[in-house]
Amino acid sequence: MSIKVIESQVARFLQREVPEVISIKGAWGVGKTYAWHSYLSKARHQKKIGLLRYSYVSLFGINSLKDLKFAIFENMVDLSTLGRKSTVESFRNNIADLLSQLGKKSLPLFSSNALVSHYHSMLDSLSFLALDKTIICIDDFERKGNSIEAQDILGLISQLKEQKRCKVVLILNDESLREDSSIDYGRLREKVIDSELRFDPTPEDCVQIALKQDRVAKLLGENIIKLGINNIRIIKKIEKLAEVLVPQLADYDQLVLSQALRTLTLLTWCYYGPASHVPDSSSLVLARNRWPSISSVPA
């Protein structure tokens, strides 16, 4: 699926208030989460988001539905503050909103005489009430804890849509799903997921998404496209290493910088890339031979 199609579908998803669930699937490192955040930020700046609150949760390390529900509540922010991490202040605001929804009858539940364990238990139970009309991103589905079942997560997502009128985006690497999770997802996706988007960007797409538009980025982009790298995590590592390298070569000829960036791109790809996708040593020689040396580059 082309990046333009995915962006238009995400824009449509964000603009409408109608409760809906979409999934964004793709291989490791292709930039699913990065792209989602970019599209969300763009829609906010254009004031084209139908709902007012947002929560982002990674399933990495979450081992129960209770933990997941509370994490969604804990990370909920107003979209006007999008880009800032949830803080004690934002959590306090969420508690205040929850109490205002419950009204004066809730005050005895949070009395000063209540035990701490009672307070946490009540908060866990009541926090789910606050998740009304919220855009929720649940990331790293394939990295969920062993103690929480995929079907339970999908059941919660369905509940958020049907009962809480939320819009939910599920981000996952379906190639890395455990067998039981893959079975549950395949069995329940028709009931839970309204739209599935396959995020499979070309190297040109990744360069456009991940790199700044400057002289060094242009050189890196040419190298990335030549090598066919479509992993945004690796591209961002290349960019960060280039930021360290470039100042060290400030007094050298432009051709030295150009060739150094070529080497940097190739070696970073080989070091961080999946073993099945990166070249072996003989391929490295062939790849390097395809690039002209400094002496052969015209002045």
User: pLDDT, tens digit, for every residue of 7-49?
Assistant: 999 999 999 999 999 999 999 889 999 999 999 999 999 999 9
What's phi and psi for 193, nearest 5 deg? Answer: -90, 125
Confidence band (pLDDT; 50, 70, 90) for 282? Answer: low
Strand, helix or coil for residue 172: strand
Confidence band (pLDDT; 50, 70, 90) for 80? Answer: confident
Share of the chain above pLDDT 70, in %: 77
Q: Tens of pLDDT along 98-135?
A: 555 545 444 454 444 544 444 455 555 566 777 889 99
Compute the Cα dihedral for 2, 3, 4, 6 and give only its sign: positive
What is the predicted pLDDT for the residue at 259?
A: 93
Query: Vertex 154, ends 148 and 156: CA angle to 5°?
Result: 85
Query: Residue 82: what residue type?
Result: L
Q: Tens of pLDDT along 234-269?
A: 999 999 999 999 999 999 999 999 999 999 999 999
The strand order across the sheet containing 167-172 reads 77-78, 53-58, 134-139, 167-172, 20-25, 195-198
Decide: 72 and 137 in contact? Cβ < 8 Å. no
Confidence band (pLDDT; 50, 70, 90) for 299? Answer: very low
Contacts of 232 (CB under 8 A, 6+ apart): 29, 30, 31, 34, 35, 201, 206, 209, 210
What's phi and psi for 62, nearest 5 deg? Answer: -85, 130
What is the predicted pLDDT for the residue at 165?
A: 96
Q: How many CB atoms lie within 10 A of CB 240?
A: 11
